[in-house]
Chains A and B, each alone.
Chain A
Amino acid sequence: MKILVCISHVPDTTSKINFTNGDSEFDTNGVQFVINPNDEFGLTRAIWFKEQQGASVTVVNVGGADAEATLRKALAIGADEAIRINANPTDGFYVAKQLAEVAKNGGYDLIIAGKESLDYNGGMVPGMLAAQLGYDFVNSCIKLDVEGSDAKAVREIDGGKETLSTKLPLVIGGQKGLVEEKDLKIPNMRGIMMARQKQLTVLEPVAANNNTQAVKFEKPAPKSAVKLISPDNLDELINLLHNEAKVI
């Protein structure tokens, strides 16, 4: 089985978010970048398939040269090779188009992407990729097993979960649950050394439309200070929730 894992290069979850250039761009100053957490669950599951079922794992990112550190981390964790599409990932459709090209040309059987990235939160790349390829697609996937060309996937639904069966080729929108948090891998020294020898191919993008564009960013308005209520005066809290906030 040939697996392609799509990796977004995103600010660490603890990052303070600021903007620059007239609030038109994200300010990367002092920001630590990581593998998008939803992608990391998928990557770890892909490596499980490699170790248990002899799959090969390629990681791919659409982004600038700064994303190569994140791809190297994925290689250090256990991916076999990496591809970077040298383009600015500004629109989900555009990114999906680039990934579809790689998926088609490489003949991948299973393509795993995070259900959304923690920067733009678009939640559209895996679905658009599947639609462009004409492959089956399972979103919000919390469990995945593959036997031969048969796949069994569990997806989260509002208030529960649903088990689906389908066949490869398949696109997965992954999230926590594909593997447990404790099973996420931290690169060790040997992995980091080996990652340096692994192939990282840079490809130029294919022509595609940017259907959307983020033209401006805003930070939420500063919050007014919390109203503190004495633990001995809970009637006041109920009064405020009822008459002021009108939520009960």
Chain B
Amino acid sequence: MSILIYAESVEGKFKKTAFELASYAKKIAAETGTTVTALTINAADTSALGNYGVDKILTVNADKLKAFNAKAYADAIKQAAQKEGSKIVLFSSTTDSLYTAPLVAVGLDAGYASNVVALPESLSPFRVKRTAFSNKAFNITEISTDVKVLAIGKNSFGLIESASSPAVEEFSPSLNDNDFTIKVENVEKVTGKVTIADAEIVVSGGRGLKGPENWGLVEDLAAVLGAATACSKPVSDLGWRPHSEHVGQTGKPVASNLYIAIGISGAIQHIAGINASKVKVVINTDAEAPFFKVADYGIVGDAFEVVPKLTEKLKEFKANNS
């Protein structure tokens, strides 16, 4: 009956989303009088899960699973859910987890809801709130199957510390050749740079910056804040920045704590993609830019003057507050 979470790790280390998931699961477990089991795959040290209320850890250690493989991972998670008799299986919203969750849902004959942003509104019937229409709305989804699979939206729940002493159990799922028909040929990963997916703060530039040669402004501000850099669709279409930085409805979604938009007018599609961010700051010369309608804080001013000054002041602030 235990609630199962898939505690995703990268190179052996847990992502923050794994702890967010544990916090979410613990809340439901406390309400329903059940426990939380975490499944880990090739995680080096699982002890940190005990800070967030996990009762039991199933550790899978297999060389075959060194590289992520959706089919094989789904098979392992499904078998763990069956072994634990879990009625609720939770995923985070990383690229790999969102790849895996639908496969697990089919394997368990479970209804699946993604982009879940809050604890269940009710447990019977089982109803959760999720975002839809690219963050322009929410919907309450009812899941009618016995087993439920949820993917929890990034940064939507937060961390709740709760000390526990989880029992650790080695788990060896039976995997077959059919799980490994997709082969990883090559991985290209930017190292030493904050990714948009993991970033707490995102600094984003638009056409107002006039050309790719001015991106130092964005990068300097991002560096002070430990932020990821992003851009609007026109900027990526013009080739000023790579597609991988394009955020918005047809680009990457952003759900950061702080989103700073520089020289971005705020087309409806852009706003849809970044609206899940908690706090939004806009810097734009045009006081009528639609972004001011959705932002929390705004500066009407020239980015070429404001941004370097802001970067300097933040440097001072960081020096005094660390």
Interface string of B265-288 (1 = CB under 8 A from A): 000110010010011011000000
Which of B74-115 touch A at CB < 8 Å?
A: 74, 94-96, 98-99, 101-103, 105-107, 110-115
With an 8 A cutoff between CB atoms, is B143 at the interface? yes
With an 8 A cutoff between CB atoms, is A131 at the interface? yes
Q: CB distance A218 to B71 under 8 Å?
A: no
With an 8 A cutoff between CB atoms, is B298 at the interface? yes
Chain A residues positioned under 8 Å from B141 (CB to CB):
212-215
Q: If A160-B187, A212-B144, A226-B292 touch, does A93 touch B306 (CB 8 Å cutoff)?
A: no
Chain B residues positioned under 8 Å from A132 (CB to CB):
106
Q: CB distance A164 to B184 under 8 Å?
A: yes
Determine the interface band of chain B, counting residues with CB < 8 A from chain A. 35 or more
Chain B residues positioned under 8 Å from A167 (CB to CB):
181
Give the interface SS of chain A, mostly helix, strand, loop or mixed.
Answer: mixed
**Candidates A123, A231, A247; contact of B278 at CB < 8 Å:** A247
Chain A residues positioned under 8 Å from B183 (CB to CB):
164-166
Interface string of B183-218 (1 = CB under 8 A from A): 111111110010101101100000000000000000
With an 8 A cutoff between CB atoms, is A88 at the interface? no
**Candidates B112, B137, B189, B249; contact of A157 at CB < 8 Å:** B189
How far in angstroms is the closest Cβ of chain B from A12?
A: 10
Q: If A211-B110, A214-B140, A216-B139 touch, does A93 touch B105 (CB 8 Å cutoff)?
A: yes
With an 8 A cutoff between CB atoms, is A227 at the interface? yes
The CA of A163 and the CA of B201, in the complex, are separated in Å by: 29
Contacts across chains A and B counted by CB atoms under 8 Å:
252
The CA of A96 and the CA of B198, in the complex, are separated in Å by: 30
Chain B residues positioned under 8 Å from A127 (CB to CB):
70, 99, 101-103, 106
Q: If A131-B107, A163-B185 touch, does A237 touch B299 (CB 8 Å cutoff)?
A: yes
The CA of A220 and the CA of B134, in the complex, are separated in Å by: 12
Q: CB distance B127 to A17 under 8 Å?
A: no
Q: CB distance B298 to A212 under 8 Å?
A: no
Q: CB distance A124 to B105 under 8 Å?
A: yes
Interface string of B294-322 (1 = CB under 8 A from A): 11111111100110011001100100010
Which of the 9-residue segments A42-50, A114-122, A188-196 touches chain B? A114-122
**Candidates B103, B144, B272; contact of A13 at CB < 8 Å:** B272
With an 8 A cutoff between CB atoms, is B225 at the interface? yes
Q: CB distance A118 to B249 under 8 Å?
A: yes
Chain A residues positioned under 8 Å from B115 (CB to CB):
121, 123
Which of A61-75 touch B at CB < 8 Å?
A: none
Determine the interface band of chain A, counting residues with CB < 8 A from chain B. 35 or more
With an 8 A cutoff between CB atoms, is A55 at the interface? no
Q: CB distance A118 to B295 under 8 Å?
A: no
Chain B residues positioned under 8 Å from A220 (CB to CB):
135-138, 275
With an 8 A cutoff between CB atoms, is A128 at the interface? yes
The CA of A32 and the CA of B95, in the complex, are separated in Å by: 30
Chain A residues positioned under 8 Å from B74 (CB to CB):
131
**Candidates B99, B140, B292; contact of A140 at CB < 8 Å:** B99
**Candidates B107, B282, B296, B306; contact of A245 at CB < 8 Å:** B296
Which of A186-234 touch B at CB < 8 Å?
A: 209-220, 223, 226-231, 234
Q: CB distance B139 to A176 under 8 Å?
A: no
Q: If A140-B95, A228-B300, A247-B278 touch, does A166 touch B181 (CB 8 Å cutoff)?
A: yes
Q: CB distance B198 to A229 under 8 Å?
A: no
**Candidates A118, A226, A242; contact of B317 at CB < 8 Å:** A242
Q: CB distance B294 to A223 under 8 Å?
A: yes
With an 8 A cutoff between CB atoms, is A108 at the interface? no
Q: CB distance A217 to B139 under 8 Å?
A: yes
**Candidates A17, A157, A214; contact of B136 at CB < 8 Å:** A17
Chain A residues positioned under 8 Å from B142 (CB to CB):
212-215
Interface string of A137-152 (1 = CB under 8 A from B): 1111000000000001
Q: CB distance A14 to B268 under 8 Å?
A: yes
Q: CB distance A216 to B140 under 8 Å?
A: yes
With an 8 A cutoff between CB atoms, is B173 at the interface? no
With an 8 A cutoff between CB atoms, is B172 at the interface? no
Chain A residues positioned under 8 Å from B279 (CB to CB):
241, 245, 247
Which of A166-183 touch B at CB < 8 Å?
A: 166-167, 173, 176-177, 181-182
Seen from chain A, the residues whose Cβ lies within 8 Å of a Cβ on chain B are 11, 13-14, 17, 19, 26, 37-38, 91-93, 96, 118-128, 130-132, 136-140, 152, 156-167, 173, 176-177, 181-182, 209-220, 223, 226-231, 234-235, 237-238, 240-242, 245, 247-248
Q: What are 11 pairs between A and B in contact, CB < 8 Å? A: A120-B133, A122-B112, A158-B95, A159-B189, A166-B182, A166-B183, A173-B99, A212-B112, A220-B275, A227-B298, A229-B299
The 9 closest A-B pairs by CB, nearest first: A127-B102, A231-B301, A211-B111, A160-B189, A131-B106, A159-B195, A158-B197, A247-B258, A163-B186
Seen from chain B, the residues whose Cβ lies within 8 Å of a Cβ on chain A are 70-71, 74, 94-96, 98-99, 101-103, 105-107, 110-115, 127, 129, 131-145, 181-190, 193, 195, 197-198, 200-201, 225, 237, 243-244, 246, 249-251, 257-258, 268-269, 272, 275, 278-279, 281-282, 292-302, 305-306, 309-310, 313-314, 317, 321
